[in-house]
Amino acid sequence: MRRTLIAGNWKMNGDFSANRSLLSEIKAGLPASLNCDVLVCPPAPYLAQCAELLAGTAVMWGAQDVSVHAQGAYTGEISAAMLADCGSKYVIVGHSERRAYHAESDELVAQKALHLQKSGLLPIVCVGETLEQRESGQTNQVVAAQLNAVLDVLGDMAAMVVAYEPVWAIGTGKTATPQMAQDVHQFLRQQMAARNAAVADKVQILYGGSMKPENAAELLAMPDIDGGLIGGAALKSQDFLSIIAAA
């Protein structure tokens, strides 16, 4: 049985004061017995703060990106070893914003995921299609190419999480219907099952297209949706807690 994972992607938001308030409210509002895993991914400068504030709690913390390089003259880059040193367990790679704004290719995303695994960290590999690609019937082709680029290089398919984020449903207020999301999640699991069915059945696949308190329960009820990669709602404690409650 796959355990549900609710992961908050803070993107480029937050400051020391706001983070402290948000995490305090989340910690105070968590149920005594959690039926899901909870993760927050703040901007890199705040990882140490999250590590301090969340130590000893049920909430994990992770990062939003990683370099493919281990160390050296790579100004502005952050290595997997540094993220592990901050206590990170998960790291997001291949987010649609990284692909769009930083021209990250499927191959680069795959190398980042591999680097994370070699460093003992779990990549959250994001895949998803644009509105134009969906309307032209290319959804499966696009997400398969993105996923298979990663699967081709990873040594351990079990040590990863997949997040399906339809680009057209991020920050737009639009959301795929639960059945639309389920169809893609099922397709992604079938892609993994073609390589190893037993392992594919254990891989968590998160939905990352504007999951909110209003739609979380219905989305999470789908058989192949194993959690959410939450954007805007992760910055509001009550919304994030409501999604956790739905899980």
Active site positions, annotated: 95, 165
Cα dihedral angle (222, 241, 45, 232), rounded to 10 degrees? 60
What's the burial of 61, exposed, middle or buried (CB within 10 Å: 0-12/13-18/19+)? buried
* Amino acid residing at 169: A
Edge-to-edge strand ranges of the sheet holding 90-93: 59-61, 37-41, 5-9, 227-230, 205-207, 161-164, 122-127, 90-93
Rounded to whole angstroms, the Cα distance separating 152 from 74 reads 26
* Cα three-residue angle 114-115-118, rounded to 5 degrees: 85
Rounded to whole angstroms, the Cα distance separating 47 from 242 reads 24
Q: Which residues belong to the annotated binding site?
A: 9-11, 171, 210, 231-232
- 9 forms beta bridges with 41
Rounded to whole angstroms, the Cα distance separating 132 from 139 reads 10
Are 128 and 188 in contact by the 8 Å Cβ rule? The answer is: no
* Contacts of 100 by beta carbon, 8 Å cutoff, 6+ apart: 167
Rounded to whole angstroms, the Cα distance separating 94 from 163 reads 10
